[in-house]
Homo-oligomer: A and B are copies of this chain.
Amino acid sequence: MTDKDFLKKIGGNITRIRKQRGYTINFVAQKCEIEKSNLIPIEKGRINTTCLTLLKIATALEIDAQEFFK
């Protein structure tokens, strides 16, 4: 698995689960207390985010962070 594919997998999982919840990017960003200018590239797999940012997103999506790696 390449680095790029790995980040795209994580981002894609975040997008998929967010949409399953019916949440918008702005809503999740507010709930996480992160900026959408950070969240959007994470979902796109463009940036190599950190454990704690994943924890914030997972908490906002009411899910375990490990789900993002499946």
Please tell me if A17 contacts chain B, counting CB pairs below 8 Å: no
- A25 an interface residue at 8 Å Cβ cutoff? no
Copies of this chain? 2
Interface string of A1-36 (1 = CB under 8 A from B): 101001100100000000000000000000000000
| Chain B: CB-nearest residue to A53 | B48
Interface size bracket, A side: 10 to 19
Task: Determine whether the beta carbon of B52 is less than 8 Å from that of A51.
Answer: no
- Digit string of A30-50 for contact with B (CB within 8 Å is 1, else 0)? 000000000000000000111
Q: Provide the bound-state CA to CA distance between A50 and B42, in Å.
A: 12
Min Cβ gap A68→B in Å is: 8
